[in-house]
Amino acid sequence: MFRRVLLISFSSLLLLTGCSGGGTSSNPESFVSGNGSITFIEKSKREAAPVLSGMTLTGVNYSYSGKGIAVVNVWASWCAPCRAEAPTLAALSKKYSDVAFIGILTRDNPASAEAFNRKLALPYPTLIDDSVLIGFRNTLPANAIPSTVVLDKNGDVAGRISGAITVASLTSLIEKVSNE
């Protein structure tokens, strides 16, 4: 009887640890969510943003000129804060029509993201190659999902919102960079 209980206990333990992944997760829904904090870089300390170009969710090849203010939002369709902020980003992209809004899809299935994009009718392009994010590593990398980076008129990285944006937070950052 003791051997049977021990065997069942051991088997259960193996089953549980086998499913745990050893404390790591490959699930795309395991992500770091930011707290909405804003980082602003003084003009003299800014560095150029990486080249923002490639295929979009809608199958169009897109390239940002590198000139003019831009808002770059890193998102995924499975990310609840990303879904929550999408209508605000869409509204602000219409309000600030002279500002380029660009999405970068990360760790997501393009078909799911495209369906989400279509449902919300997001009025700006979303790049599907998240290797573009590597180019931000020396400035303000996307340290959470979502992350939003604002580029100044010269295409330099001026600020970042780590986590979901609000109307107030993104408006404030766009206005600060626009008034330079």
Q: Which two tokens stand for residue 95?
A: 């309000």
Strand partners, 114: none
Q: Which residue, among 149, 83, 136, 73, has the nearest Cα to 105 in the 3D structure? A: 73
Contact 80, 111 (CB under 8 A): no
pLDDT tens-digit series, residues 37-56: 888 999 999 999 999 999 99
pLDDT at 175: 96
The tens digit of pLDDT for each residue in 119-172 reads 999 999 999 988 898 888 888 777 789 999 999 999 999 999 999 999 999 999
Of 3.30.460.10, 3.40.190.10, 3.60.40.10, 3.40.30.10, the CATH number of 33-178 is 3.40.30.10
Report pTM: 0.79
Residue-wise pLDDT for 65-86, tens only, equals 888 999 999 999 999 999 999 9
Residue 94: which pLDDT band, with cuts at 50, 70 and 90? very high
DSSP-assigned beta bridge partners for residue 162: 37, 147
Q: Where are the domains of the chain?
A: 33-178
pLDDT at 33: 55
Single-letter amino acid code for the residue at 6: L
- Is the pLDDT higher at 93 or at 8? 93
Please give the pLDDT value at position 140.
Answer: 79
Burial 145-161 (b: 16+ CB within 10 A, else e): bbbbbbbbeebbbbbbb
